[in-house]
Amino acid sequence: MASRKESMSTPTAPMASTSSGATLDSPVKQIQIEGLVVLKMIKHYQEEGQGTEVVQGVLLGLVVEDRLEITNCFPFPQHTEDDADFDEVQYQMEMMRSLRHVNIDHLHVGWYQSTYYGSFVSRALLDSQFSYQHAIEESVVLIYDPIKTAQGSLSLKAYRLTPKLMEICKEKDFSAEGLKKAMIGFEHMFEEVPIVIKNSHLINVLMWELEEKSTVADKHELLNLSSSNHLEKSLQLLMDRVDDMSQDIVKYNTYSRNLSKQQQQKHQYTQRRQQENAQRQTRGEPPLPEEDISKMFKPPQPPPRMDTLLIAGQINNYCQNVKEFTSQNLGKLFLAEALQGHNS
Amino acid sequence: MSRFFATGSDSESEESSSADEITPKAPGTTFTKQSLLLSDDEEDTKRVVRSAKDKRFEELTNLIKTIRNAMKIRDMSKCLEEFEQLCRAFLKSKTIVDKEGVPPFYIRILADLEDYLNQLWEDKEGKKKMNKNNAKALSTLRQKIRKYNRDYETEIASYKENPMASADEEEEKDEVESGSSSDSDDEPADAKSFLKKKSATEAPPPNASKFLKGAADEESSSSDGDNEDWDSDTSESDSGSEDETGRSTSMAVNFLKKTSSEGDRHTSEKKKEERKKRHKRKERIEEEAEEEAQEEGEGEWEKVKGGVPLVKEKLKMFAKGTEINTTVVVKKLNEILQARGKKGTDRAAQIELLHALANISNENNLGEGILVKIKFNIIASLYDYNPNLAAFMKADMWKKCLDCIDELLDILFNNDKIFIGENIAEDSENLASDSQEYRVRGCILTLVERMDEEFTKIMQNTDPHSQEYVDNLKDEGRVCGIIDRLMAYLEMETKGSTEEVCRVYLRRIMHTYYKFDYKAHRRALGLQGETKSEQDAEESEGEDSAFIMDRLCKYIYAKDRTDRIRTCAILCHIYHHALHSRWYQARDLMLMSHLQDNIQHADPPVQILYNRTMVQLGICAFRQGMIKDAHNALLDIQSSGRAKELLGQGLLMRNMQERNAEQEKIEKRRQVPFHMHINLELLECVYLVSAMLLEIPYMAAHEFDARRRMISKQFHHQLRVGERQPLLGPPESMREHVVAASKAMKMGDWRTCHSFIINEKMNSKVWDLFPETQCVREMLVRKIQEESLRTYLFTYSSVYDSISMETLKEMFELELPTVHSIISKMIINEELMASLDQPTQTVVMHRTEPTSLQNMALQLAEKLGGLVENNERVFDLKQGVYGGYFNRDQKGGYQQKQGGYNRDQRGSYQQKQGGYNRDGQRGGYQQKQGGYNRDGGGYQRQGGYNRDGGGYQQRQGGYNRDGNRGGGGGYQGQNRGGYQGGGGYQGGGGYQGGGGGGYRGGYKGGYQNQDRRDY
């Protein structure tokens, strides 16, 4: 409710998106969303998503200069085990065709997804966003956080993969060297695009009118002081990620140890061979043929680093969330203290 | 013994194939037997030897007849059943059919059946009236016959064109019979006339046969045997075994006797004559002739009534005029025994012969020796009667066996000159002379053991919920009696070796250990028997079973040399103790015997016994209120989820890949008879309740512990199952009750918990099964109160500043001292951070337990520490050899952190932190540390600090130098030599060691204080 109010009352204000100027040469520098789309997404989540379940949908719109305008959306149907043969692509095409018939923008410009405590940085998201961005360059993914929204501020963020990441994904080279060469860290995986929610003037007028009449009770989720529940959940998730990270590191560790061990063996082998050859030469015998060392010592399979990167990105995300939340809460607590002092 | 078993197994292997054939046909046989008795038996009596064709066709006609009957009464399910059998039988007689062509009666039934079914099918009204089973059977049958008849289309068509219109069913039947059987023409007529006569004069055949049985019971044991035998034979006669002829004559005998006893002598004589004629016509083997003679003798005997019937028999067995003496009898005996185990031998006849022989020897006063010998053989043949070791004895055979053993024991008791033993050679036997001791080869103990095994087998194979089971169980008294007598016999000097005594003792123990001694129990409670007679019975009972067990077991412990008997005895002893709530004795015996260590090497039956014992021990512990012991004892059995199988109380459903038919048979043989079962629901309930009493407080205490272990997986599983229920109704099953109780206990709500655990339903399901129900319930209530109190304190201690013990006492309805002791115990164990305020009787909470959020943060910090450490390792590897250096340092440093962190978790977190910080402000190194602390969550910082690597080292060095200069001796002393070594920066290793161990020690100790003073 509050979220809707916000979107109504501040129709043109850009959201609190702290996107930097990281949008180097990407074709989209700003995203403009219809209020309708936001409402549809929220409605979709409220109807179908609960708990950790995630809802997804398709965004429709068009590109105007360096601005992506999202004017409509529709949800993906919920998947069940039974209809495995359900063709999603077919459904989307069908949907878009039908929308075109009623004269709605039918150009595919991305997709949206809800999230649970900001846990959206995952391989699945990366893969699908990659395929979107690969097919339609301007595609974005909108992340809608229902929990934050319930706390009083609409949380909607648009992300795109950075060109660097796109390169890597294209080459499918997720080894440590590849990532190093591409100079990519978890900070540079996604770029956030600023969002503007915009309604037509007619709607704005209607809103103003309605606000006069509506008797919606003010809800003060924004001022809720209890914090531990949210923090606990975040910490729990954070911990899980850290565990994953630890495991990954251990894996990498074993790998590099194995590698160095093998290097040593290789070295020893070549040295021995050289010595032997030297001896043979002194005896006047023909030297032993140089064998293919790489065949004898198969290098261990390097673990893919992409997952680690994603986990790191996710951890970063959680940390941001916690930080943001705590700073807000601290402010609220001071506020409350002052109020207490004032009252007593 | 060896002889007996050897032959037994021989015959088994020989006969097993045929026996196996018989078994699957079991349902079919019952019916055929019935039909034989009902209508066909008259014809049967006249039929002697028939070709295979006749046999098959007769089978078919029988089946057809029943189908027709079923059709008449519209019993569709019966029809279907019979039709399937008919098809099978027809398939069996395929070879004959191929030769002879499809018999017309077969086609006729097919056609008729189809017509009939179609007619029924059309009859919608009738179909509606039919019950569900019948309707279902109808549709199935209709489909079946349609399919089946496709193969015989032409024949059926031709039949339909030209049905034998006038033939009514009875005549049809006769025609068929006369057409197919090779009997002479006048026979059917004869049969018919006889049938009429009989039905006019007598009760219908089934009654007659019943009467026959009744009559048989009245007869002496030796002759009643054969009657019963023949009865049982008939049930098998349709199996198509080769001694069909003998069987059919036996049928004749039955009727012979019956008719003679009815006084219808005329018919019987006439028939007998006929039969004799036929016998002459057909040459029979000698044995059958003998048998025949016997039958005749019996027939005679019936007529004479009361006279000694053996004249004729003797004639047959021994040539007329032969002097009956021991040698002749022994020779005859051997002759009979030679036939044993051979394929063609009629085992029933053999038993008969032996009985006859026994009577003869009795008749001629040949002395006890020979009688004992014959008795031995009779019993052996009785056991032999079943070709398959897996099959169990028929009830009547079993009874006879019991009688025989009883008689044998009588003889042995009356005559102490008889010496028996299994190691007496055949030729050194002394059966004749009265002056010397009789020496007879044979082992009574083996026979009794076998008898006991047979008893178990009978019990295993009887439906435990039938009256039959109860009847069979009544025999247990007799079995016990026999074992007791044998015990008395073997206990006599020179009669039994210690080994044998041990064996018989074990048998006795096996019959005692699982029985609860109610009398002793009541006596222990100081109650008198309610009525006079009961009291008398009590007195006559004599010893408590406990004393008996004690005596027998101790004898075995002392004398037994085979490990197995001792193991079994110990287990039974423990079981018995446990059953009677002598927990400490049972436990001590279990622990002292060290059975737990090597039981897995024992054979399965012993393992089953062991499992039973452990379970009983667990239940005993529970009754005594030793929850933890109960849980431990039951854990192994319950956690596997195969309690049923492990206790030998039933097979688990498994697919055939895991277990073939052979294994299944073996497993079935291991099953414990029903009356010895331990109630599985009780077992599970006891386990779950103990798990609840342990687990719920534990869960409450370790709510935030990441490394929490579950005590009982099964219990958790039940909880999860309970949680997964979409709709939570009031509990129904025992498990649901326990889960509901657990939930209540989690909240510290002992009243609800109590009402869930102890209520009408649970009482009837579980608690009433204990002998001391009231005590157990009281114990349970108390335990629930105590554990709820603990749970409550764990869960809600963070809410209280202080709580009065008086309140707690009222809340949990416990006495003040108990509350006091529970809380004190919790405080001592550092489970509860609180102290007791004596004057006000309150518990003051210290509030040192971190909140869940803090806990979480601490866990996160710990995890991050691990992460950082792992990360450093990666860095180390990059650095190569040099890296190893850091590695060690890193570890030390991390441990250090751990130590501090751990301590922090316990006591005064802030205080220490604070003090530490203040200290930190001083030296260079401390500054660093302080920085870390000031940073708060600063493990990351710590990471950065480590990554500094060399720089840090240098700083360390610098600090050390600083410390040396500024800090003065006291400080160094406090930090132990390691630091000074560290001053020599090049000798890095030494410093590292200091960092890890020594430094930490100093840090833990009065480091801060010392410092403060110094500076």
Q: Is A232 on the interface with B (CB under 8 A)?
A: yes
Tell me the chain A residues in contact with residue B851 when contact means C-beta distances shorter than 8 Å.
228
A127 lies in some domain: yes
Q: Does some domain include residue A19? A: no
**Residue B276 banded pLDDT, cuts 50, 70, 90:** low
The Cα of A62 is separated from the nearest Cα of chain B by a number of Å equal to 44
Helix-, strand-, coil-residue percentages of chain B, each rounded to 5: 75, 0, 20
In a domain, A232, yes or no: no
Task: Give the separation between CA B36 and CA B206, rounded to whole angstroms.
Answer: 10
Same domain, A35 and A155: yes
**A248 and A115, same domain (yes or no):** no
Statement to judge: residues A116 and A191 lie in one domain: yes
Q: Is B700 exposed, middle or buried (0-12, 13-18, 19+ CB in 10 A)?
A: buried
Query: Is there a domain that residue A304 lies in?
Result: yes
Answer whether residue B930 shows pLDDT above 60.
no
Does residue A7 lie within any of the structural domains? no
The answer to whether residue A23 is domain-embedded is: no
> In chain A, pLDDT over 90 holds for what percent of residues?
4
Q: Which of A249, A255, A267, A305 to mutate to test the interface with B (most CBs of B within 10 A)?
A: A249
- Contact between chains at B866 and A256 (C-beta distance less than 8 A): no
Which residue out of A231, A251, A253 would a mutagenesis test of the B interface target, given it has the greatest number of B Cβ atoms within 10 Å? Answer: A253
User: What is the Cα–Cα distance from A104 to A73, expressed in whole angstroms?
Assistant: 10
* Chain A residues closer than 8 Å to B867 by CB: 242, 245-246, 249
B548 residue type, one letter: I
**Other beta carbons within 10 Å of B703:** 12
Strongest mean pLDDT among A289-293, B86-90, B164-168: B86-90
Mark yes or no for CB contact A239/B874 under 8 Å: no
pLDDT band at A48 (very low <50, low <70, confident <90, very high): confident
Domain encompassing residue A110: 30-78+87-212
Least confident of A48-62, A105-119, B288-302, B415-429: B288-302
Place of tokens 């294209």: A170
Interface of B with A (CB under 8 A): 851-853, 856-857, 859-860, 863-864, 866-867, 870-871, 873-874, 877-878
Are residues A326 and A200 part of one domain? Answer: no
Q: How far apart are CA B940 and CA B486, in angstroms?
A: 84
Domain boundary, last residue among A191, A212, A233: A212
| Distance from the B989 Cα atom to the nearest Cα atom in chain A, whole angstroms | 23
Indicate the number of domains in chain A: 2
Is the pLDDT assigned to residue B26 strictly greater than 80? no
Give the H or E element holding residue A108.
strand A108-114
* Per-residue tokens: B148: 């089946």
Q: Among partner residues B851, B853, B877, which is closest to A260 by beta-carbon distance? A: B877
Q: Are residues A161 and A248 in the same domain?
A: no
Residues A189 and A299 in one domain: no
Domain boundary, last residue among A212, A231, A253:
A212
Which of the two residues, B992 and B426, has the higher pLDDT score?
A: B426
Hey, what long-range contacts does A16-25 have (CB within 8 A, 24 or more apart)? A16/A153, A17/A157, A17/A158, A17/A192, A17/A193, A17/A194, A17/A195, A18/A192, A19/A191, A19/A192, A19/A193, A19/A194, A22/A162, A22/A188, A22/A191, A22/A192, A23/A191, A23/A193, A24/A163, A25/A163
Q: How far apart are CA B305 and CA A75, in angstroms?
A: 100
**Neighboring chain A residues of B864 at a CB cutoff of 8 Å:** 242
User: B-chain residues within 8 Å CB-CB of A242?
Assistant: 860, 863-864, 867
Domain boundary (A163, A192, A212) is at A212
Count how many pairs of residues, chain A against chain B, have C-beta atoms within 8 Å.
44
- The pLDDT confidence band at residue B933, using thresholds 50, 70 and 90, is very low
Say yes or no: A174 and A269 in one domain: no
pLDDT in tens, A150-202: 877 788 889 988 888 888 888 877 777 777 777 777 888 888 889 999 888 99
Of A25-34, B494-503, B939-948, give the lowest mean pLDDT range. Answer: B939-948
Mean of the per-residue pLDDT values of chain A: 80
- From the list B853, B863, B874, the residue facing A232 with the nearest CB is B853
- Chosen from A240, A245, A315 to mutate, greatest number of chain B CBs within 10 A: A245
User: Is A203 a residue whose pLDDT tops 70?
Assistant: yes
- For residue B835, what is the enclosing H or E element? strand B834-837
The full DSSP string for A162-197 is: -HHHHHHHHHT--SHHHHHHTT--GGGSEEEE-EEE
Non-local (6+) Cβ contacts of B394 within 8 A are B232
| A203 and A255, same domain (yes or no) | no
Rounded distance, CA A154 to CA A35, Å? 12
The DSSP bridge partners found for residue A196 are A14, A32
pLDDT per position as a tens digit, B852-910? 788 888 888 988 888 888 888 877 777 664 444 444 444 444 444 443 344 333 333 33
**B291 Cβ contact list (under 8 Å, min separation 6):** B246, B346, B349, B352
Query: Which residues are paired to A114 by β-bridges?
Result: A144
3-state secondary structure of B509: helix
Return the CATH number at A167: 3.40.140.10
The complex's ipTM works out to: 0.76
Say if A233 falls within a structural domain.
no
Nearest in space to B298 (alpha carbons), one of B232, B366, B375, B352: B352
Task: Work out the number of other CB atoms within 10 angstroms of the CB of residue B904.
Answer: 17
* Burial label, A167 (beta-carbon count in 10 A; 0-12, 13-18, 19+): middle
Model confidence pLDDT, tens digit, residues B718-751 = 888 888 877 778 888 888 888 989 989 988 888 8
**pLDDT value for B179:** 43
Which whole number is the average pLDDT over B530-537? 47
Query: What CA–CA distances, in Å, run from B93 to B21, B59, B167?
Result: 16, 10, 26
Mean pLDDT of chain B: 67
- Same domain for A268 and A194: no
Cβ A32 vs Cβ A68: under 8 Å = yes
CA distance B354 to B348: 10
Across B670-698, average pLDDT? 88
Residue B877: list chain A partners with CB under 8 A: 253, 256-257, 260
How close, in Å, is residue B727 to chain A by CA atoms? 19
Asked whether B261 and B302 are in contact (CB, 8 A), the reply is: yes
Cross-chain residue pair A242–B860, CB shorter than 8 Å: yes
Nearest to A235 among B860, B871, B878 (CB): B860
Question: pLDDT per residue over B745-780, tens digit each?
Answer: 988 888 899 998 888 888 888 888 888 888 888 999
Q: How far apart are CA A158 and CA A133, in angstroms?
A: 13
- pLDDT of B957 > 60? The answer is no
Residue A306 lies in a domain: yes
Tokens of B155: 């024949």
Q: Comparing C-alpha atoms, which of B848, B842, B797 is closest to residue B820?
A: B842
Q: Do A48 and A189 fall within a single domain?
A: yes
Please give the Cα distance from A279 to A281 (Å, whole number).
5
Instruction: Please tell me the distance in Å from A258's CA to the nearest CA on chain B.
Output: 11
**A267 and A174 inside one domain:** no
Subunit contact B870:A235, Cβ cutoff 8 A = no
Residue B236 has pLDDT above 60, yes or no: no
Residues in CB range of B382: below 8 A, 6 or more apart: B351, B393, B397, B400, B401, B404
Of residues B943 and B625, more confidence is placed in B625
Q: Are residues A91 and A163 located together in one domain of the fold?
A: yes
